[in-house]
Amino acid sequence: MIYYFSGTGNTRWVAEQVGRACGLALRNVADCLGDVATPEINLWTEGILGLAFPIYGWTIPKVAEAFIRSLPRAEAPGTYYVFALLTCGDDIGRAHERLAMLLAEKGYELSAVWSFSMPNTYIGLPFFDVDNEELAARKIKSTQEKLPRVAQQILCREKGVVDVVPGSFSRWKSGWLRQFFYRFWVGPKMFSTRHRCTACKRCEKVCPLHNIKVERPETGPKWGQQCTFCLACYHVCPISNILVGPSRTCKGRYTHFLEAAT
């Protein structure tokens, strides 16, 4: 089983490719938080735990952390083959080390981890925007070429694989900058709208945590407190009504894998 979380669809797509190649089913962690029985059954029968998460602010999302903490405690480290597929725009910092630490707290050993550079979706700060079409296509193609090797390594239960791109200043990014990012730049306070909503409810439908409600056009979308800042709502809005961050400017939108979800 591969347990995944995905906002704009990049991570879900990677998990689907690996799951298909390795004969592993998928389940969204947002749908099974608190459901201890399901992870337990699959772990005990398959002996394998796959994780697929995007990287937000050089760490895994809070919902991913909550899922790992909900897992049943392992009998002993090394009992299960645990692998992770981490998607990012460019680099992941030291997110894989934090993931390994969280798993170790539950008695699991991270056997193998890979990162995949996928089209950028973060637009919340100045100078951040989506990739142009050429770069986005190149990233997807590069990941497609990498996936067969990754699937083969998983099928062979290879251990000690750390195939990731930490990037420059990785410890600083996943340390102080990560904490600053989540304290000041994540949450419903970062969203606003610029004109009248059409109440199409695509943002409400695509939110993986069911954190958005659209009651009527004049009020527009309302964000709850469970936002993990995946920005799917921003990218899926057909009239580019949703604004993110202090600049309050409309930037590019990335919908390559989102259209199927709406």
- Domains of the chain as residue ranges with CATH: 2-181 (3.40.50.360), 188-261 (3.30.70.20)
Residue among 160, 182, 178, 157 nearest 169 (CA): 178
Q: What is the pLDDT of residue 41?
A: 47
Q: What is the pLDDT of residue 2?
A: 95
For 72-99, the pLDDT digits (tens) are 888 776 788 999 999 999 999 999 999 9
Q: What is the pLDDT of residue 174?
A: 77
Q: What is the pLDDT of residue 47?
A: 87
Q: What is the DSSP letter of 94?
A: T
Q: What is the pLDDT of residue 217?
A: 82
Highest mean pLDDT among 38-42, 53-57, 122-126: 53-57
Q: What is the pLDDT of residue 119?
A: 97
Three-state DSSP class for residue 20: helix
For 60-79, the pLDDT digits (tens) are 999 999 999 988 888 776 78
Assess whether pLDDT exceeds 90 at residue 161.
yes
* Predicted TM-score of the model (pTM): 0.92
Assess whether pLDDT exceeds 70 at residue 151.
yes
**What is the distance between the alpha carbons of residues 72 and 104, in angstroms, rounded to a whole number?**
12
Residue type, 241: N
Q: What is the pLDDT of residue 117?
A: 98
26 — pLDDT class (breaks 50, 70, 90): very high
Which percentage of the chain shows pLDDT scores above 90? 65
Q: What is the pLDDT of residue 121?
A: 94
Out of 137-146, 156-165, 249-258, pick the least confident.
249-258
What value does the mean pLDDT take over residues 54-62?
Answer: 92
Which percentage of the chain shows pLDDT scores above 70? 92
Do residues 53 and 96 lie in contact, with contact meaning Cβ atoms separated by under 8 Å? no
Stretch (H or E) spanning 161: strand 161-163
Query: What is the chain's mean pLDDT, rounded?
Result: 89
Residue 136 structure tokens = 């986005």
**What is the distance between the alpha carbons of residues 253 and 205, in angstroms, rounded to a whole number?**
17
